[in-house]
C-alpha cells in the first residue's frame, strides 16, 4: 500500500516510537492524526509538522475518544488506511516477594492499557478501513501494533508487561485472519531495547551498558528504525499476520 496520499492514525504518537512514526509517515506524504494523552506534546508535534498533521487527545481505553481520533483520520483525503498503535506502559514487580504478592490492580492496569487498549484501536480503525474503496491490490488498510521482545524473553519482574505484550502477539494472526476478507492487514513489531523516553531517564553509563548487550549493532535501537519498519510493513502487501522482532539479535537474560 502506498503511504503517500493516505491518512494515518498513530496512537501514542506524541513521543518515543509513536512520534518517530508520525514523523516518518508525514514525511512520506500521509496525512497524520496523532492521538495521545499528552496534549502539550501532541499539539506541539502537530504544529511542528504542519499540515496535514493534527492532534486528538485520546486515551486508548476510552472507546469514544479513540473513535473520535479514528473519525478525524477517516475524514481526511484518502481515508484512514494506516493505523499504528504505540501506546503503552511498563511496570516492574515480581509475582511474589518479601513485600507480598504482585499488586493485582497494577497487573490489571498494564493488561488494560497495553493489550485491551491496542485491541480497542485495532477494532475501531479496522472498522473504518472496511468502508474504504480497495486499492489495485485489494487492500483497504493496514494496522500495526507494538509488542516487545519481552513477549518472548520476559525478565524477572516483567510478568505483567510480558503478559500484556504476549497478548498482542497472540491476537495478531487471528485478527489478520478475521480481517482478510475486508482487505485489512495486521502485523506487530516487537522492539528490543530502544532509545525511548523511558530509557532516557537512566544514567548514561547504564544506557551504554544496555546497548552493549545487543549483539549487533551494539547500541540501543533508534525510534526512527522502528518507524522505518512500520512503513515497510505498510508498503509490503505480503506482511500479514506476522510479529517481527526488531532487536539486533538480542535475547534477554533472566535479569
Res 207: pLDDT: 80
Residue 167 pLDDT more than 90?
yes
Please tell me the pTM assigned to this model.
0.96
- Give me the pLDDT at residue 255, please: 85
Residue 142, pLDDT above cutoff 80: yes
Q: Which of 55, 91, 161, 194 is catalytic?
A: 161
- Reported confidence tier of residue 79, pLDDT bands at 50, 70, 90: very high
Q: Kindly give, in sequence order, each residue whose CB lies less than 8 Å from that of residue 43, ignoring residues fewer than 6 positions away.
A: 55
User: Does position 170 have pLDDT exceeding 80, yes or no?
Assistant: yes
pLDDT on residue 208: 85
Q: Quick one: pLDDT at residue 206?
A: 78
pLDDT attached to residue 205 = 82
pLDDT tens for 174-210 read 999 999 999 999 999 999 999 988 777 677 887 888 8
Asked if residue 251 has pLDDT above 90, the reply is yes
DSSP state of 78: T
Cβ neighbour number for residue 17 with a 10 Å cutoff: 29
- Predicted local confidence at residue 228, as pLDDT: 98
Query: Residue 202: what pLDDT?
Result: 72
* 142 touches 81 (CB < 8 A): yes
- Find the mean pLDDT for residues 105-125: 98
- Is 226 in the active site? no
Domains (range + CATH), the chain: 7-246 (3.40.50.720)
Determine whether 71 is exposed, middle or buried from the number of CB atoms within 10 Å of its CB (0-12, 13-18, 19+).
Answer: middle
Any idea which of 42-51, 103-112, 159-168, 195-204 has the lowest mean pLDDT?
195-204
Mean pLDDT of 66-73: 98
The per-residue pLDDT for 172 is 98
How large is the average pLDDT for residues 222-245?
A: 98
Amino acid at each position: 500500500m502506498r503511504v503517500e496520499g493516505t491518512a494515518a492514525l498513530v496512537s501514542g504518537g506524541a513521543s518515543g516510537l509513536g512520534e518517530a512514526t508520525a514523523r516518518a509517515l508525514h514525511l512520506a506524504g500521509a496525512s497524520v492524526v496523532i492521538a495521545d494523552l499528552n496534549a502539550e506534546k501532541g499539539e506541539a508535534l502537530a504544529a511542528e509538522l504542519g499540515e496535514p498533521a493534527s492532534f486528538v487527545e485520546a486515551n486508548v481505553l476510552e472507546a469514544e475518544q479513540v473513535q473520535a481520533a479514528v473519525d478525524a483520520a477517516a475524514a481526511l483525503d484518502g481515508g484512514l488506511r494506516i493505523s499504528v498503535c504505540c501506546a503503552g506502559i511498563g511496570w516492574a514487580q515480581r509475582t511474589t516477594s518479601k513485600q507480598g504478592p504482585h499488586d493485582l490492580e497494577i497487573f490489571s492496569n498494564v493488561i488494560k492499557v497495553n493489550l485491551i487498549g491496542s485491541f480497542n484501536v485495532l477494532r475501531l480503525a479496522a472498522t473504518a478501513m472496511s468502508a474504504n474503496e480497495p486499492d489495485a491490490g485489494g487492500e483497504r488498510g493496514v494496522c500495526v501494533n507494538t509488542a516487545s521482545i519481552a513477549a518472548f524473553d520476559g525478565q524477572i519482574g516483567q510478568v505483567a508487561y510480558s503478559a500484556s505484550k504476549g497478548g498482542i502477539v497472540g491476537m495478531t494472526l487471528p485478527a489478520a485472519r478475521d480481517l482478510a476478507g475486508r482487505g485489512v492487514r495486521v502485523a506487530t513489531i516487537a522492539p528490543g531495547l530502544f532509545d525511548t523516553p523511558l530509557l532516557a531517564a537512566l544514567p548514561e553509563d547504564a544506557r551504554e551498558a544496555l546497548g552493549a548487550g545487543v549483539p549487533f549493532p551494539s547500541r540501543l535501537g533508534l525510534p526512527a528504525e522502528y518507524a522505518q519498519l512500520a512503513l515497510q510493513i505498510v508498503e509490503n502487501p505480503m506482511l500479514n499476520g506476522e510479529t517481527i522482532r526488531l532487536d539486533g539479535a538480542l535475547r534477554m537474560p533472566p535479569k
